[in-house]
């Protein structure tokens, strides 16, 4: 097993006019004021969206098995690899080793959503840390300073939502392939997608 070397540094977040914060609370306030606007709900004009996107909305091809069996989810989770972990050290591959009772709970969430249910509001809550982007010449081993837009949010909670999403992914891939295959023109050397 290869261990990655990590370090802990304080992160100073500059104010809107470039002022250096006097405390961690001031850095947190600077982050809050910047990222609140980024994460805020945006107004949507449904009439304009319909005009812009309405022609792109397609009917889903028939004959697709939408519900995934319990065994399917077990196979999907066990086959999951650490492709998205990167240097953040968030390893989704660990889900392959979770107890069956926990996986059953996530499968229950999938079935609940599949049957038209809504997730609890807290299911979408996150604990987020802000990682500094890149390196700058004034970075030190103990401290880095960035403007709020030069940090990257990393979600430290609710990685569980990825398991129901993984259960939906193969179904969406089949639907997309079937839809694209029926509209493809030109080279016809690819076999028709399966119905599973």
Give Cα 48 to chain centroid, integer Å: 27
**Prediction pTM value:** 0.54
Residue 140 lies in a domain: yes
Cβ atoms of 152 and 144 within 8 Å: the answer is no
Tokens matching residue 124 = 């979408």
Residue 132 lies in a domain: yes
Report pLDDT digits (tens) over 31-54. Answer: 999 999 888 888 888 888 888 887
The pLDDT of residue 25 is: 94
The pLDDT of residue 188 is: 52
Residue 158 lies in a domain: yes
Domains identified in the chain, total number: 1
Residue span of the structural domain in which 33 resides = 10-40+66-183
Residue 127 lies in a domain: yes
**C-alpha to C-alpha distances, 138 to 108, 135, 146, 169, nearest whole angstrom:** 50, 9, 10, 44
- Rounded Cα distance between 75 and 20, Å, is 51
Do β-strands 151-155 and 128-132 pair in parallel, antiparallel, or remain unpaired? antiparallel
Q: Break the chain down into helix, strand, coil percent, rounded to 5.
A: 45, 10, 45
Residue 111 lies in a domain: yes
Low-confidence ranges of the chain (pLDDT < 50): 1-3, 85, 87-89, 189-190, 192-193, 195-196
Cβ neighbors of 112 (< 8 A, separation 6 or more) are: 119
The pLDDT of residue 183 is: 61
Residue 79 lies in a domain: yes
- Among 163, 172, 167, smallest CA distance to 64 is for 172
């Amino acid at each position: 097993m290869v261990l990655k070397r990590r370090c802990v540094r304080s992160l100073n977040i500059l104010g809107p006019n470039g002022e250096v914060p006097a405390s961690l609370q001031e850095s947190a306030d600077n982050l809050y004021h910047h990222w609140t606007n980024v994460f805020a709900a945006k107004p949507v004009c449904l009439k304009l969206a319909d005009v812009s996107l309405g022609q792109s909305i397609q009917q889903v091809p028939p004959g697709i098995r939408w519900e995934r069996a319990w065994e399917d989810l077990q196979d999907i989770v066990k086959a999951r690899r650490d492709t998205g972990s990167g240097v953040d050290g968030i390893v989704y591959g660990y889900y392959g080793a979770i107890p069956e009772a926990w996986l059953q709970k996530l499968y229950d969430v999938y079935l609940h959503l599949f049957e038209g249910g809504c997730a609890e509001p807290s299911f979408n809550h996150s604990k987020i840390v802000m990682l500094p982007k890149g390196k700058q010449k004034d970075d030190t081993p103990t401290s880095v300073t960035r403007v709020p837009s030069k940090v990257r949010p990393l979600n430290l909670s609710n990685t569980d939502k990825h398991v129901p999403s993984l259960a939906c992914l193969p179904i969406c891939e089949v639907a997309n392939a079937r839809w694209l295959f029926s509209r493809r023109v030109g080279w016809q050397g690819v076999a028709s997608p399966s119905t599973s």
